[in-house]
Amino acid sequence: MCGIVGYTGKNQAAPILLDGLSKLEYRGYDSAGMAVFDGKTLRSEKTPGRLNALVEMTHDGKLLPGTLGIGHTRWATHGKPTRANAHPHFNAAGTVAVVHNGIIENYLDIRQRMEKKGFAFKSDTDTETLAVMLDYYYTGDPVETIIKVLHRVTGSYALGIIFADHPGELYAARKDSPLIVGKGKDGNYIASDVPAILKYTRDVYYIENEEIAKITEKDIVFFNIDAEEIKPELHTVEWDVNAADKGGYEFYMMKEMSEQPKVLRNTCEPRMKKGSIAFEELSKDADIIKKASKIHIVACGSAYHAGMTGKYVIEGMARIPVEVELASEFRYRDPVYTDDEIVIAVSQSGETADTLAAVKEAKAHGVPVWAIVNATGSSMTREADRTLYTFAGPEISVATTKAYSAQIAVFYMLAILFAKERGQLDANEEKSYVEDLKRLPEQVELLLGNKERVQKFANRYISARDVYYIGRGLDYAIALEASLKLKEISYVHAEAYAAGELKHGTISLIEKNTLVTAIVTQEALYDKTISNIVEVKSRGAFVMAVTNVGHSEIEENADFVVYIPTTNKYFANSLAIIPLQLFAYYVSAGKGYDVDHPRNLAKSVTVE
Ligand code: AGP
């Protein structure tokens, strides 16, 4: 996902842009660039590859003097990661500079129309059409011009714009792609995400859809798409500045895995009062909870896997039917709703395009939408009827760990709440669940302390080609998440399989030394999964097992076993995932990969 940083004020802009972009590297990108205006000349540099190349090309920004600037890290959508396609993009005269996150869906029509009017294009990007149109429709009034152009585009955008005949003025606009405006003491900022400007200010405005901002060193003025001035609310970001740096770890992923005990406490404690579960956010929804006939959980990637955990736990405790769906499927399949259904969207970033679209689809049908989100103030928190935050703090590594763990903990508490409100759970049972929840952080801490043993085992699988993860019920939900972790950061092919399904075809792929990881935490299914371990062993597989302490007999069949402490069966996912996150991390790190920035991936996929 692209990163945008902009600044106008009394300081040199380039160093601020480079610093801000470095805080957005986690979003995934393949080129970088910036434009800086000194009041007379609008200069720019851009390059494919990493941000460091831009730092070197501009001598830490010294070659681009000026106190007004925009910077960008691009994750290629239209056109390869080349210098020509890198942002910023300009009009022919080089007097208008634009950086953009999102997709202009009608860019080809615009391009053809502008070419017919004699405009030439230097790139393959959709963004350049914006620079050309800003030139063509320019009236001398930037806000008026921007509105004219935005009326002619369809798609999503977060924009930073500079007009050379308006020194000191930075313009921003947004639709469906996140953008914030930071109010600082030495000037004002724009950014795609909070970490980019947290060092300079905690006071931010969240630009809403189809709003434009005119920003100078001293003022920030907002307009709606009808050119009417509006007064949005100023928010104060509570994040800890250090939370957005590595804190001595080699990769953010290890730091964030290590934060999971704290994150579980931060997420659960506000909802646990005197042995009982309560969501302040749902205090007006007792009726909806009591009457709920079905729950749809919609999400992507790991958030979808968290939803799978949610399904088993909510159905198990509260006996409500739960359907978990990929948001990219849900949004287009014209779902059939009956009365009293609820949609729960899950998203770390709160900006995932498919999940946002699924939320809008459900809302268009009048279905109550709750969102389990980590990023404060993100788009999804403004679209959903209720937001249940995960309090994991900023998650920088592309591979989610702490936010995922917090998501499944929210599902545990939702399941308890639903079961209680619907008479499926008495006060003693609730109290016992809450006690088990309180023990999770220290149990996670214990498993994290096991990392060297997992690392030694992972080192044997640096060159693995195929890995299979098998489990039943809640163990299958973890198999899904564990396989994605390995794939996305180590590029090893991994597949999750319902253990009972393997023999219906895929077992043909198991051969000598194929690594099969069996997750066996559900006591009622233990013997069934053991028989699946025997099946794959007889075909030569090497078996890693994750099971409950006390099942040492599993070592007759499994070659490497990680035991998890005893917890309630519903909460075992929080423990079983720890060694499997560590395994993926150590395989990737062992291969010398940049664990936090896996190839082809972005931290939040804000495009379809
Ligand atoms: C998980 O490690 C991946 N980064 C990815 O699958 C992610 O979970 C997915 O893109 C959803 O992101 P979201 O939670 O921000 O919506």
Question: Given strand 466-471, what is the order of strands in its sheet?
Answer: 493-498, 466-471, 515-520, 542-548, 560-564
Residues enclosing ligand 1, CB less than 6 A? 300-303, 347-349, 352, 355, 398-400, 488, 604-605
Instruction: Give the whole-angstrom CA distance, residue 582 versus residue 593.
Output: 15
- Given a cut of 80, is residue 409 above it in pLDDT? yes
Nearest residue by C-alpha to atom 16 in ligand 1: 347
Query: Out of 2, 214, 487, 537, which one is annotated catalytic?
Result: 2
- Tell me the CA–centroid distance for residue 290 and ligand 1, in Å: 31
Residue predicted with more confidence, 309 or 396: 309
Q: Which residues contact 179 (CB under 8 A, 6 or more apart)?
A: 4, 101, 158, 159, 172, 173, 190, 191, 192, 207
Query: Out of 255, 487, 569, 603, which one is annotated catalytic?
Result: 603
Condensed to tens digits (0 to 9), the pLDDT of residues 161-173 reads: 999 999 999 999 9
Nearest residue by C-alpha to atom 6 in ligand 1: 301
- Given a cut of 80, is residue 411 above it in pLDDT? yes
Question: Given this model, what pLDDT does residue 377 score?
Answer: 77
- Tell me the CA–centroid distance for residue 604 and ligand 1, in Å: 6
Percent of the chain with pLDDT over 70: 99
Confidence of residue 601 (pLDDT cuts 50, 70, 90): confident
Question: Given this model, what pLDDT does residue 25 score?
Answer: 77
- Given a cut of 70, is residue 244 above it in pLDDT? no
Residue 20's closest CA among 66, 60, 71? 71
Mean predicted confidence (pLDDT) in 366-371: 97
Regarding beta strands 515-520 and 542-548, do their DSSP bridges make them parallel or antiparallel, or are they unpaired? parallel
Condensed to tens digits (0 to 9), the pLDDT of residues 251-277 reads: 999 999 999 999 999 999 999 998 899
Q: Write the burial class of residue 208 (CB in 10 Å: 0-12 exposed, 13-18 middle, 19+ buried).
A: middle
Question: Given this model, what pLDDT does residue 283 score?
Answer: 94
Q: Which residues contact 271 (CB under 8 A, 6 or more apart)?
A: 277, 278, 279, 280, 413
- State the DSSP H helix or E strand holding residue 188, giving kind and residue range, or none if neither: strand 187-191
Mean predicted confidence (pLDDT) in 363-373: 96
- Given a cut of 90, is residue 27 above it in pLDDT? no
- Tell me the CA–centroid distance for residue 346 and ligand 1, in Å: 10
Mean predicted confidence (pLDDT) in 228-235: 95
Closest ligand 1 atom to 401 CA: 2
Confidence of residue 1 (pLDDT cuts 50, 70, 90): low
Average confidence score pLDDT of the chain = 94
Task: Note if 268 is an active site residue.
Answer: no
Condensed to tens digits (0 to 9), the pLDDT of residues 138-155 reads: 999 999 999 999 999 999
- Given a cut of 90, is residue 288 above it in pLDDT? yes
- Tell me the CA–centroid distance for residue 236 and ligand 1, in Å: 26
Question: Hey, what long-range contacts does 266-272 have (CB within 8 A, 24 or more apart)?
Answer: 266/391, 266/392, 266/393, 266/406, 267/389, 267/390, 267/391, 267/392, 267/406, 267/409, 267/410, 268/409, 268/413, 268/437, 268/438, 268/440, 270/391, 271/413, 272/413, 272/434, 272/437, 272/438
Whether 219 contacts 169, CB under 8 Å? no
Q: Which of 193, 379, 400 for mutating ligand 1's site (highest number of atoms within 8 Å of CB)?
A: 400
Of 90-99, 400-409, 588-597, which range is least confident? Answer: 588-597
Q: Is the pTM of this model over 0.95?
A: no
Condensed to tens digits (0 to 9), the pLDDT of residues 181-213 reads: 999 999 999 999 888 999 999 999 999 899 999
Closest ligand 1 atom to 352 CA: 16
Confidence of residue 448 (pLDDT cuts 50, 70, 90): very high
Confidence of residue 600 (pLDDT cuts 50, 70, 90): confident
Question: Given this model, what pLDDT does residue 241 score?
Answer: 64
Nearest residue by C-alpha to atom 4 in ligand 1: 399
Instruction: Give the whole-angstrom CA distance, residue 226 versus residue 299.
Output: 34
- Given a cut of 70, is residue 285 above it in pLDDT? yes
Question: Given this model, what pLDDT does residue 604 score?
Answer: 83
Question: Given this model, what pLDDT does residue 483 score?
Answer: 98
- State the DSSP H helix or E strand holding residue 386, giving kind and residue range, or none if neither: strand 386-389
Task: Note if 2 is an active site residue.
Answer: yes
DSSP letters spanning 136-167? HT--S-HHHHHHHHHTT--B-EEEEEEETTST
Whether 600 contacts 75, CB under 8 Å? no
Percent of the chain with pLDDT over 90: 86
Mean predicted confidence (pLDDT) in 531-537: 95
Question: Given this model, what pLDDT does residue 243 score?
Answer: 63
